[in-house]
Structure 1
């Protein structure tokens, strides 16, 4: 697969918005502060009904450097597709209206795409704010790395040609994880088009090892609420991307198992440091009274009692 040489500024930023009031202005301002200025800033409003949000959008629409597109509420996937379709650049960055880019995001992600023909998309680490103050470090990688879990933030820069090839965001997904599905679709489409025998490299999503995104955290955000339907959504993803899961079955299963082991070990270490949790927490008491079998649970219980 030949990479597109993006070139300085050959990127549009698509910001999706739904009843986000002043947060959408913060997102726009973070794009304006980029060291690498984009060719276009496209705000797609997904049917906002809140008067304060509509007013902010009206004000943004008056700016010379902003294009505001309005549509009836159809979900984030549809809004992103509308914005990407309106872009006229080789690459596109998608940004949720309640998040912000740090000043070097475009410079870094466009640079990653320019420097690596196997990279179909690029992003960076997340610096969270709001409820959680942390740095989250997704790893990116090839399609095998994306089968156990999503390995890229929803905010990322990608080659527009691959978006066209894969069919864009799945507009039927309105309950979360549409960004995970899109990453799988991008990588699968790129792999189909790629001549890996010539390059020796599989298509991948590159992640800069530094915070490039300010990610707002709150209990009611889709990223949190979508966890209640995670298994149902994963079944949809596995069925939709069955060929990739079948081709990398061992990687997918071991990746999920590695996450399970890591979380069990974290719980065990926490209980060791705070032994009162074993008696004070009903879930912990129930686990110790009847440890799970076949997943390392019984071994953890034996270690704790020892």
Structure 2
């Protein structure tokens, strides 16, 4: 039984969950730890097939939290379902494996309350898990968004703006980058966003996540083609800005590549050559020593065989009492 009681909160947190039950408590816990507490949490089980996730969500009991179950339709459909089932004036689309810093809602709500012209509030983030880095974008205007997604997935958004543009696009060719598409749509229609210059979000990097597919995996080209075609008017209007940015990015990469090549030629290659020379010298010494080692091993084997033969001989057994008496005499002599 969920402990959620119907109410009208300021913030509705929507969390799609597809086979991510192992991370869900961390995500929900980061919401429950917010200094701003006027919120509801709606988790959409997006047709999970993982037994552990299904068992967890079958009776998930957390404060201010309820669970909805749906057939698997993808993250966009799950978010739209949650949006339609919530009432908060502000929305936060939190992924089931990410975490918020405790003051995120407090600071984002303050900004939205103070400036009605702002439709969504993002922030800086810190990556954790398989990778560790920080992401600190400065702009979220249309030219910036055309060349890069500079807005957090879990940005705090005005419900009225999201509803006005039709929510998340469910027609994308593969899952991933659906939030980028949403920000482009919002800003192209005149809505404005803002970025809090503070790390208030923790972004989990893991193998197999949707972001790895949409950024670097097989879905990248199809998503890029879809985005450019859908937002063709905006790309045409800001083509020069986009090309100049891409040229600057390419130039920066080429400079970095040149630095790496020069370092390789001046430092790494000489070091490798030196180590190869050292290895060759050691191998030469080893080759000269090996015959001597084998000779010693053969001599040792021969001596060992003689000792074994002696100790198994009849004379060794016959003289055994004499050796014991001689040993006793030596011990007595040493004791005086």
Q: Does TM, scored on the shorter chain, surpass 0.5?
A: yes
Conserved in 2, the CA contact under 8 Å of 1:47 and 1:70?
yes
Conserved in 1, the CA contact under 8 Å of 2:39 and 2:64?
no
More helix by share: 2
Show the counterpart of 1:259: 249
Partners in 2 of 1:250 and 1:179 — Cα distance?
A: 24
Deviation sequence 1:103-159 (CA, Å, 0-9, x none): 111112222222333321111111111111111123342112100111112121111
Partners in 2 of 1:254 and 1:234 — Cα distance?
A: 18
| Bigger-Rg structure (1/2) | 2
Show the counterpart of 1:100: 99
Show the counterpart of 2:260: 270
Equivalenced residues, count: 259
Mapping of residues 136-285 of structure 1, within 5 Å:
136-173=135-172, 174-189=174-189, 191=190, 203-226=191-214, 227-228=216-217, 229-275=219-265
Deviation sequence 1:193-252 (CA, Å, 0-9, x none): xxxxxxxxxx43211111111111113211112223323322211111112112222222
Conserved in 2, the CA contact under 8 Å of 1:33 and 1:103?
yes
- Give, in angstroms, the shift of residue 276 of structure 1: 6.8
CA RMSD of aligned residues (A): 2.0
Show the counterpart of 1:297: none
Partners in 1 of 2:46 and 2:203 — Cα distance?
A: 20
Mapping of residues 32-181 of structure 1, within 5 Å:
32-60=32-60, 62-173=61-172, 174-181=174-181
Conserved in 1, the CA contact under 8 Å of 2:130 and 2:205?
yes
Partners in 2 of 1:26 and 1:275 — Cα distance?
A: 47
- Give, in angstroms, the shift of residue 265 of structure 1: 2.1
Partners in 1 of 2:105 and 2:264 — Cα distance?
A: 44
SS at match of 1:265: helix
- Give, in angstroms, the shift of residue 279 of structure 1: 6.9
Conserved in 1, the CA contact under 8 Å of 2:39 and 2:88?
yes
Conserved in 2, the CA contact under 8 Å of 1:16 and 1:76?
yes
Conserved in 2, the CA contact under 8 Å of 1:46 and 1:72?
yes
Range that drifts further, 206-215 or 137-146: 137-146
Partners in 2 of 1:254 and 1:261 — Cα distance?
A: 10
Relative to 1, partners in 2 of residues 1:111 and 1:258: Cα closer, same or farther, differing over 3 Å? farther
Moved over 4 A (4+): 276-280
Partners in 1 of 2:267 and 2:154 — Cα distance?
A: 38
Unmatched tracts of structure 2, length 5 or more = 1-8, 271-336
- Give, in angstroms, the shift of residue 27 of structure 1: 0.6
- Give, in angstroms, the shift of residue 273 of structure 1: 3.5
Relative to 1, partners in 2 of residues 1:65 and 1:277: Cα closer, same or farther, differing over 3 Å? farther
Partners in 1 of 2:15 and 2:231 — Cα distance?
A: 27
Partners in 2 of 1:38 and 1:270 — Cα distance?
A: 51
Unmatched tracts of structure 1, length 5 or more = 1-8, 192-202, 281-306
Partners in 2 of 1:43 and 1:277 — Cα distance?
A: 54
- Give, in angstroms, the shift of residue 260 of structure 1: 1.7
SS at match of 1:22: helix
Partners in 2 of 1:277 and 1:140 — Cα distance?
A: 39
Normalising by structure 1, what TM-score? 0.79
Normalising by structure 2, what TM-score? 0.72
Deviation sequence 1:58-113 (CA, Å, 0-9, x none): 342x3351111110110011111111111212110110001111111111222222
- Give, in angstroms, the shift of residue 22 of structure 1: 2.4
Partners in 1 of 2:112 and 2:208 — Cα distance?
A: 34
